[in-house]
Amino acid sequence: MSPIDTEEDLANPRVTAADLRDAWPVLDTEGRVEGFRHLMSAEAEEFFLELSAFDRAQVVLGLPSAEQRWWLRALPPDDLADVLQETPEEERPRLVELLDDATRREINVLLAYSEDEAGGLMNPRYARLRPEMTVDEAIGYLRRQTRERVESIYYAYVLDQESRLLGVVSFRQLMMARGDARVRDVMAQDLITVPDEMDQEAVGRLFAQHDLLAIPVVDAQGRMQGVVTADDIVDVVREEATEDIQKIGGTSALEAPYLQVGFVDMFKKRAGWLTLLFVGEMFTASAMGHYEHAIERAAVLSMFIPLIISSGGNCGSQASTLVIRAMALGEVRLRDWWRVFLRELAAGFSLGLVLGLLGVLRIVIWQSSFHSPDDASQGYYGQHYHLIAATVFTSVLGVALWGTLAGALLPFLLKRSGLDPASASAPLVATLVDVTGLVIYFSVAIALLSGTLL
């Protein structure tokens, strides 16, 4: 099975799913649709079901209308809604028209929810039972339901006349119960449900916490709307982590696979943050302007600028990513900020101590091993090298401590203001700390070196 790289090869009807899977990342939309249409029908279905919602939408949009109908109908309603969410809004009404009446109604309900809330994730088809049924009746009823359109019968939900959720019974429990027992006596009542408007990240946390395979979704009146299953949550957890990682790296979330994002889109997602960071970092030029005289008198000071400000940025980047992730996992809540502050105070101080001592070590070794190009008698950093060492030590300690605290607390500030804590990206923290780091460094230098070097 050699990879296929050219469209000529794809036009050849001998395309296998394995070939296409291999070539997929390097094909453009046209090539993908072309390749897909040349799969044998048995393989095509499996291949289609493997694709992400994004790729499915891309393929469907490239097909003629009759084939579109076929592929859309092959999907269960929750997956179908995901695919429609990935199509341009002006295309959706036409695609929805291709569905049968019952599915169209379901899809319109799902599309009314935002993609990232429980209602947008749920499957509206689930197995329903009445509390007064016997176990044998229930098993027979489920057996009939599965012949129709219910995707999953792992759990059956017990509803009253108004569709309010009374309890849940797993298939396993039905099988273990006596045939003449009532469903109401077998079902579990202390079940976990989620409101239809709950954010998908919170739904993901519930799944992780309780190790569940399915959670029912209810509306504000307690009426059951659908079921979210763990396989959908695997995707959600991956997506949410991807968004956080991209934000931590200082990009807006891409919302599509890296190689699929067009150049202009990619540029926009990245240029916005970079411009903001660049403008923020311009304050370093202003800060440096203030200290220009100090640098003119002691150029040696400028040598340590990158080292000192980067220490703050690195410490801040560590602290902010740890806190951002702990928040996303629900390990740290807003009200824990004081505990985090105390921990990071201790961490920042000890880390700053280690780095500061490393800086001193560097100066002492260089001082005794090399000599300045100007004056061979004075060692590398001149006669006042111990004062320079003291300046570097104190500045690194101060900058590391400040960077750590700023990095740890910025996510709390963002969350408190209703923003995404993950926006406290490594580059943002580094930029904040660079400006203040320079002020710390030169203040220390002026305090310690006035009368000698300055």
Among 68, 85, 123, 152, binds its own copies (CB under 8 A): 152
CB of 130 to its own copies, least distance (A): 19
Structure tokens at 131: 């509390």
CB of 244 to its own copies, least distance (A): 7
Complex with its own copies: residue 346 or 447, whichever CB lies closer: 346
In 3-state terms the chain splits into helix, strand, coil percentages (rounded to 5) of: 65, 10, 25
Residue 302 touches its own copies, criterion: CB under 8 A: yes
Residue 202 touches its own copies, criterion: CB under 8 A: no
Among 311, 391, 395, 423, binds its own copies (CB under 8 A): 311
CB of 31 to its own copies, least distance (A): 14
Complex with its own copies: residue 219 or 336, whichever CB lies closer: 336
Residue 194 touches its own copies, criterion: CB under 8 A: no
Answer for the pair 432, 410: CB distance below 8 angstroms, yes or no.
yes
Q: Where in 396-425 is the site for its own copies (CB under 8 A)?
A: 425
Sign of the C-alpha dihedral, residues 6, 8, 14, 20?
A: positive
The set of residues, in sequence order, having a beta carbon less than 8 Å from that of 181 and lying 6+ positions away, is 134, 135
SS3 12: coil
CB of 281 to its own copies, least distance (A): 5
Among 57, 121, 194, 347, binds its own copies (CB under 8 A): 347
CB of 148 to its own copies, least distance (A): 10
CA of residue 244 relative to chain centroid, distance? 3
Whole-number Å distance between alpha carbons of 312 and 387: 21
Among 326, 360, 439, 446, binds its own copies (CB under 8 A): 326
Phi then psi dihedrals of residue 217, to 5 deg: -105, 130
Q: Binding marks (x or -) toward its own copies, 357..396, rule CB under 8 A?
A: -xx--x-----------------x----------------
Whole-number Å distance between alpha carbons of 196 and 117: 7
Which residues are 343's β-sheet partners?
none
Complex with its own copies: residue 30 or 50, whichever CB lies closer: 50
Residue 244 touches its own copies, criterion: CB under 8 A: yes
- 3-state secondary structure string across 321-359: HHHHHHHHCCCCCHHHHHHHHHHHHHHHHHHHHHHHHHH
Q: Where are the alpha helices (DSSP H) in 62-199?
A: 65-73, 77-85, 92-97, 101-112, 118-121, 135-147, 171-176, 183-186
- Diameter of the chain measured on Cα atoms: 102
Q: Where in 81-140 is the site for its own copies (CB under 8 A)?
A: none
Residue 200 touches its own copies, criterion: CB under 8 A: no
Residue 282 touches its own copies, criterion: CB under 8 A: yes
Complex with its own copies: residue 68 or 284, whichever CB lies closer: 284
Contacting range for its own copies; rule: CB under 8 A; set: 5-13, 91-99, 102-110, 209-217: 209-217
Residue 436 touches its own copies, criterion: CB under 8 A: no
Complex with its own copies: residue 63 or 307, whichever CB lies closer: 307
Contacting range for its own copies; rule: CB under 8 A; set: 85-93, 113-121, 231-239, 413-421: 231-239
Complex with its own copies: residue 288 or 364, whichever CB lies closer: 288
Residue 350 touches its own copies, criterion: CB under 8 A: yes
Contacting range for its own copies; rule: CB under 8 A; set: 5-13, 66-74, 350-358, 445-453: 350-358
CA of residue 409 relative to chain centroid, distance? 20
Contacting range for its own copies; rule: CB under 8 A; set: 9-17, 90-98, 130-138, 200-208: 200-208
Nearest to 223 by CA among 171, 169, 157, 174: 157
Answer for the pair 240, 418: CB distance below 8 angstroms, yes or no.
no
How many residues line the site for its own copies (CB under 8 A)? 116
Please name the helix (run of DSSP H) or strand (run of DSSP E) that holds residue 59, with its range, or none.
helix 53-61
